[in-house]
Amino acid sequence: MAINFETLDYLKDGNEKQRRTYQILSRHSVFVNLQAFDPLLVGTIPLNIDTEKSDLDIICCCKIKNSFIETLIENFSHHREFLLVEKKIRNRETILATFQVEEFEIEIFGQNKPTKEQEGYRHIVIEYTILCNNDEAFRQKIIQLKHEGLTTEEAFAKQLNLTGDPYLEMLKLGERQFKT
Tell me the mean pLDDT in the region 32-50. 96
Helices 136-147, 119-132: axis angle to 10 degrees equals: 130
Query: In the chain, what is the straight-line distance between the N-terminal and C-terminal CA atoms, in Å?
Result: 18
CB distance 102 to 111 below 8 Å: no
State the pLDDT at residue 180.
43
Q: In the predicted model, what is the mean pLDDT of the chain?
A: 93
φ/ψ bin of 85: left (φ > 0), alpha (ψ from -120 to 50), beta (otherwise) = beta
In this prediction the pTM is 0.93
State the pLDDT at residue 179.
55
For residue 4, give the amino acid letter.
Answer: N
CB distance 142 to 152 below 8 Å: yes
Helix (H), strand (E) counts: the chain: 8, 5
49-89 pLDDT, tens digit per residue, is 999 989 999 999 999 999 999 999 999 999 999 999 999 88
87-138 pLDDT, tens digit per residue, is 988 888 999 999 999 999 999 999 999 999 999 999 999 999 999 999 999 9
CB distance 35 to 111 below 8 Å: no
